[in-house]
Amino acid sequence: MTTIKAETQLQSIPSDAPEHCPGPESEQAGKVDSCAGCPNQSICATGQKAGPDPAIALINERMAKVSKRILVLSGKGGVGKSTVTTNLAFAFSFDEDVQVGVMDLDICGPSMPKMLGVEKEQVHQSNIGWSPVYVSDNLAVMSIGFMLPDPDEAVIWRGAKKNGLIKQFLKDVNWGTLDIMLVDTPPGTSDEHLSVVQYLKECGIDGAVIVTTPQEMSLQDVRKEINFCKKVGVPIIGVVENMSGFVCPKCTKTSAIFSPSTGGAAKMAMEMDIPFLGSIPMDPRLGIICAGLSSDHGRSFLDDFAESPASKAYMSIVDKVRAFIDDTSNLNSKLDVQAKPQPTANP
């Protein structure tokens, strides 16, 4: 098996391509405004009309083995989107019969390897494709973070190069058979979002979980994210309000941190006629585990601190995501995340 490095990929994309390059295989190659000034414009513009992208057939073949594909989105960075992705992944993987995959598309800020406790692992290539990194027997993850020679290395890529990597993640990673794929995306509505929607158009995206914090500065960008989903036809599973309060680890009482100046995510969801999945309070133990600052690094917060108000909020949200999936699939018996036994209180 061969170890994959980021710099060895995407050789077909010109290094001097403009930021919003449509790609040399696109029908718009050399013809759109972003091509102006590109040294490759005349070559692309005079080329033969590109046919269907052959990668789409390969993507469809890979994705045919993935039952459900869920995007995790946010309008702003720093609202805990990747933390929500991590805990959703752990929660669904509680049932050993459910195969879960996490695709980290936050190319410039990959955090899934560290949050899942596998940041020292590497991606390998074989004759059947790239092998994802396994957190457990039924939880796998793929991220550019595994390919960087240094975890502090900056990923300074133009849009075309990012899109090329997303395409390779979708067509070249050998996930095997998955019940659920969670796609952790960068904040906002960027090239990465457009690419994943385009590449999964034929096989379909089953829904999006949108993460925000209570204050209006976050909500104003989440409204744009919601409208993005509506415009491109991505079903919205619902909105999660993260960091809705602070849970004291001693007394477990919750105190408000961010003031919901305009009514918070619940009111916004009602106004925009989309489901509200729930509010998650802050628990400092969750941050410590995800940041790798404890011996529990890589373990599930939901498992180790099941009685935390944050854990209970997550499990309630997972139930609602499961209900959304069950409406359109036959996974009722497999996605029983409540099957994992919870500790009972001492009498």
Q: At what angle do helices 191-199 and 54-63 cross, to 10 degrees?
A: 80
Q: Is 79 annotated as a binding residue?
A: yes
Q: What is the 3-state secondary structure (H, E, C) of 125-178?
A: EECCEEECEEEECCEEEEEHHHCCCCCCCCCCCCHHHHHHHHHHHHHHECCCCE
CA distance 182 to 102: 5
> Nearest 5 degrees, angle CA 312-CA 316-CA 317?
120
Helix/strand/coil for 180: strand
Q: Is 229 annotated as a binding residue?
A: no
Q: Is 203 annotated as a binding residue?
A: no
Instruction: Give the side-chain half-sphere CA count within 13 A for 140.
Output: 22
Helices of type H across the chain:
41-46, 54-63, 81-93, 112-115, 159-172, 191-199, 216-232, 264-271, 284-290, 301-304, 309-328
- Rounded to the nearest 5 percent, the helix, strand and coil shares of the chain are 35, 20, 45
Q: Is 81 annotated as a binding residue?
A: yes
Nearest to 62 by CA among 183, 192, 142, 174: 174
Q: Is 21 annotated as a binding residue?
A: yes
Q: Is 176 annotated as a binding residue?
A: no
CA distance 66 to 170: 11
Q: Is 35 annotated as a binding residue?
A: yes
Q: Is 129 annotated as a binding residue?
A: no
Binding site per annotation, positions? 21, 35, 38, 44, 75-82, 248, 251
Binding site per annotation, positions for [4Fe-4S] cluster? 21, 35, 38, 44, 248, 251
Binding site per annotation, positions for ATP? 75-82
